[in-house]
Structure 1
Amino acid sequence: MPHPQNDRPSSDIYLGEGERTDLIGPDGLPQVHLVEQVYDGEVVLRFCDDASGELMTAEARRLTAAGIWAGKLRGRNHYADAARRADLRPGRRLVLVRQSDNPHDAHAVAVTAAGSNEVIGFIDKAKARQLAKQLDGGVNLSVVSLAGTGPGVACGSITYAAAMPEVIAHITGLRPNTAARPAHWA
C-alpha cells in the first residue's frame, strides 16, 4: 500500500531541471531511491532525491549522468499481447536483449520480462545507442519496471530503469534514515 499523498502541485514536488545536477554520493552511488507514487490511480515507482525528497521523472537527464537510463518503452501497440502476458508491475525485473541485426536500427535494444523471451517493447533510439555500446562492451546491466501492469491486464505504458546491478540494488533498496521525506507524502 503506497504512503498517503498530499495534493501539492507537481511544481512543488519535482526537482527542477537545473537543480542538483550531480547525484553521485561519496560512496560512488547515486543519492536517489525509488519510492511509490499513485499516478492516474496506479502505483508507479519514481526517483526520489535523498537530499531534498523531491521526485524526478524517468526522463531526467541527471539520471543518465549518474549511470541510470530510464524512460518509456517504445512499440507498446505492436507488443501489447506480449505485455499483457507478462508481469510488468513496478519493481519487477526486466531483461535487455541486444538486437544488432535489427533491420530498423543496428543499435536496437529490446526488452523482455524476466523469464520470458517475448519482446514487450524497445528502448528509444537515443538511449539504445548508449545502452548498445555498454552491452556490446560486455557490461552487465540490470533493469527494473517503474510502471506497468500484472499478467492478464492491458498495459498502456511501460517505464523502466536500467543500470549496473549494484546501482539497481541501491535504488530499489531502503532509503537511508537520513534521507529527506519524499515531497509527495502527506
Structure 2
Amino acid sequence: MQLLHLGDLELTLPLAMAAGAWLLAARAWRAAAAWTLLYTGALALVGGSKVAYLAWGVDVPVLDFKALSGHATGVTAVYPVLGYLLCRQAGRGPAFAAAGAGLVLGLAVTAGLVLYDEHAAAEAAAGWLLGAGVSVGTLYQAEPRGVALGLPAAASAVLVYVASAALMQSAHVGYWMIKLALALSGNTEPFSWDTCG
C-alpha cells in the first residue's frame, strides 16, 4: 500500500529536518526547541524499542507488542507540523485544519499498518499517540504568535530537505540497528520479528 511509504524514515526524517530549519530560520525559538526535543525523543524511543527487541526479544506478548511503529510515529509527528507551517500565513483556522488533516493522515497510515500486518494494533496505536504528542506539543509552542513563512525560512527548509534526503539514501538505518543490537547483546543473530519472545 503506497500510503504506508509516507512514513518511511528516508522521507520523514528529511521533512523533519526541513521543519526544524524552517522554525529556526523564522526565529520561532520555543517551537524549534520543542520540535527538536520532542522529535528527537520520539526517534530515540522508536529506535530504542526496536533495538531492545532485536537484541533481547523485549516484548509484551499479550499485546503482540515488539516495538513502536516508526511509520505511525513519523507520519503523525511530521505531517501535522508541516501542514501547520505551510498554512499558518492564511491564519490559525487553516493552519489548525492542515495540522488536523496531518493527524488524520497518521490515523490512516496507522490503520494501514495493522490492515497489512506490518504492525500489531498496539504497536501502531502507540506510534500514533507518540507522534501526535510530538506534533501537538510543537504546535502548542508555536502559538499564539504563529510562524512566519518568509523566503529565508522557506529556502532554508528546502535546502536542508535536499541535503538530508541525499544523505538518507546511504544511511541504511535498519542495518545499523541490527548491528547495534548484536553488539549490545553479544548475540550472533537478532530476534526475528516473526517470533514473539
Higher relative helix content: 2
- TM-score range (shorter-chain normalised) is under 0.3
In the superposition, the TM-score normalised over structure 1's length comes to 0.27
In the superposition, the TM-score normalised over structure 2's length comes to 0.26
Greater relative contact order structure (CA < 8 Å, 6+ sep):
2
Higher relative strand content: 1
